[in-house]
Structure 1
Amino acid sequence: MEIRKIDDNLSVAPQIAVQDVAEIARLGFRTLVANRPDREEPGQPSMADIEAAAAEHGLKWVYLPVESGNITDADVDNFAPMIRDADKPVFAFCRSGTRCTVLWALSAARELDPREILTRAHRAGYDITGLIPRLQQQADQH
């Protein structure tokens, strides 16, 4: 399992396995967020199985699937209050961690300077410079 820390409240990761949930809980995460649609690709673990493991290990479960390469403003509108109100720290996953990072970045743009967002994403291993126009759009709208 590859964990990439965005900040003290959020870490992201590529697809996890059901057996990873115990380690996620042991590491102190309190909320587990899935941003990947169930059955997006053959062989990926069932979200129901991951949800059951989250409950077994005392993690709050949030299922907010988004389509790869097509994150809408509505997706950001759903993510922003969830991440703000979630029990922290939050562990979010998708296929590669990119969707989670993009959702965070676009929601964070409503409060943080875009340069800070780009820096945090880069430190976590994600190049989201292509999002600069959308980051500015989110900042301007909120």
Structure 2
Amino acid sequence: MRIKRLNGMFTVATQVDLAKIGKIAETGYKAIVCNRPDGEGADQPGFEEMSKIARDLGLRTVYTPIALTGATEKDHAAFARVLEDMPKPILAY
């Protein structure tokens, strides 16, 4: 999992490794945003599996999948609402 902090409140990452969700919580993140559609890759756990582990560790989660064909205006609006509403800092993948 590669992580790139964009600023103090928002970080992006490659596919979240389920074994590292505890470290994500320990590092101080408050929320995880999943932008990967379920089933996109063979190595990818589903959102529900990731979300359960994260919630058990006190993280909020949200599923806002973006298709490989690109983000639509509706996707942009939904993501903007997520960024506004979710506790910070946020890790998105």
- TM-score class, shorter-chain normalisation, is over 0.9
Structure 1 segments (4+ residues) deviating >4 Å: none
TM-superposition CA deviations, 1:94-133 (whole Å, max 9, x none): xxxxxxxxxxxxxxxxxxxxxxxxxxxxxxxxxxxxxxxx
Aligned residue type for 2:39: R
Kindly indicate which of the two structures has a greater share of residues assigned to strand. 2
> What is residue 99 of structure 1 aligned with on the other side?
none
Could you state the TM-score of these two structures normalised by the residue count of structure 1? 0.63
Shift of 1:34: 0.2
SS across alignment from 1:19: helix
Extract unaligned runs of 5+ from structure 1: 94-142
Q: Provide the C-alpha distance between the structure 1 equivalents of 2:80 and 2:7, rounded to a whole number of angstroms.
A: 15
**Greater relative contact order: 1 or 2 (C-alpha under 8 angstroms, separation 6 or more)?**
2
Shift of 1:36: 0.2
Q: Provide the C-alpha distance between the structure 1 equivalents of 2:46 and 2:80, rounded to a whole number of angstroms.
A: 25
Shift of 1:69: 3.6
Query: How many aligned residue pairs are there?
Result: 93
Extract unaligned runs of 5+ from structure 2: none
Aligned positions of 1:33-52 closer than 5 A: 33-52=33-52
> What is residue 100 of structure 1 aligned with on the other side?
none
Identity between Structure 1 and Structure 2 (%): 32
Aligned residue type for 1:58: G
Q: CA RMSD in A?
A: 1.0
Kindly indicate which of the two structures has a greater share of residues assigned to helix. 1
